[in-house]
Structure 1
Amino acid sequence: MSYINHLIKGVPYSRNKSRGNLGAADQWSEQVKLQTTHLPRVKEACALKVTFLLPPDKFPADFPHGPDLDNLLKRFMDALNGTIFADTPGGDSCVVMLTVMKTKVSSPAEAGAHLEVLPVSVA
């Protein structure tokens, strides 16, 4: 497996919305799939690092730290199961080490997710 270092553009979402753009979460999942379909397929154990780049509206006054990382990651990993993890027995269970963070960017145009996948030797 080769090292993967890729920026996925778009506004990350964790779950379906109940108001506003109701299709935004599904659109994010589709963008993750579309923008990772050309990447190498993971076939063995790996370490995964994800940095969610979130626009200011994801940090409202009553939720100053932004959306839950576990919820952002769940939707993201589900989308990757259709691309880079599609040929891996067990899908994303091949991830043996995980680093995830979120950070605020200044506008939706800068939003996305930075993905790194590194091979890991498991004895």
Structure 2
Amino acid sequence: MSYINHLIKGVPYSHNKVRGSLGAADQWSQQVRLQSASLPRVKEACALRVTFLLPPDKFPADFPHGPDLDNLLKRFMDALNDTVFADTPGKDSCVVMLTAMKTRVASYADAGAHLEVLPVSVA
């Protein structure tokens, strides 16, 4: 397996929205699929690093630390199951080590998710 280092552009979402742009979460999943479709396919155990790059409006006063990281990961990894992890038995269960973080960026133009997938040797 080769090392994957890729920036997926767009605004990360976790749950489906109940107000505002109702289709935004599904559009994010579609962007993840579209922008990761040409990446190498993982076929063995790997380590995953993800940094979610979130615009300022993802940090409202009542959620000053932004959306739940586990929920951002769930939607993101489910989308990768259709691309990067599609050929792996058990799909994203091949991830044996995970590092994830979220950070604020200046604008929607800077938003996205930085993805790294590293091969690991499992004895």
In the superposition, the TM-score normalised over structure 1's length comes to 1.00
Unmatched 5+ residue regions in structure 2? Answer: none
For 2:82, the equivalent position in structure 1 comes to 82
Aligned residue type for 1:61? A
**Partners of 2:87 and 2:4 in 1: CA distance:** 16
Q: TM-score, normalised by structure 2?
A: 1.00
Match of 1:41 in 2: 41
1:21 aligns with 2:27: no
Say which SS state the counterpart of residue 26 (structure 2) adopts: helix
Q: Once superposed, which parts of structure 1, at least 4 consecutive aligned residues long, lie more than 3 Å away? A: none
Aligned to 2:94: 94
Aligned-partner residue type, residue 76 of structure 1? F
For residue 112 of structure 2, what is the aligned residue in structure 1? 112
Consecutive unaligned residues of structure 1, counting only runs of 5 or more, are: none
Which whole-Å CA distance do the structure 1 matches of 2:76 and 2:84 have between them? Answer: 12
CA apart distance, 1:83: 0.1
Structure 1 position 109, deviation (Å): 0.5
Query: Structure 1: which amino acid aligns with 2:58?
Result: K
Query: After superposition, what is the alpha-carbon deviation per residue over 1:65-105, rounded to whole angstroms, capped at 9, x for unaligned?
Result: 00000000000000000000000000000000000000000
Letter in 2 for 1:78: D
Residue 37 of structure 1 and its aligned partner are, at CA, apart by 0.2
| Partner Cα distance (2:21, 2:36) in 1 | 24
Identical-residue share of aligned pairs (%) = 86
SS in 1 for 2:84: coil
- SS of equivalent residue, structure 2 residue 106: coil
**Which residue type is aligned with residue 59 of structure 2?**
F
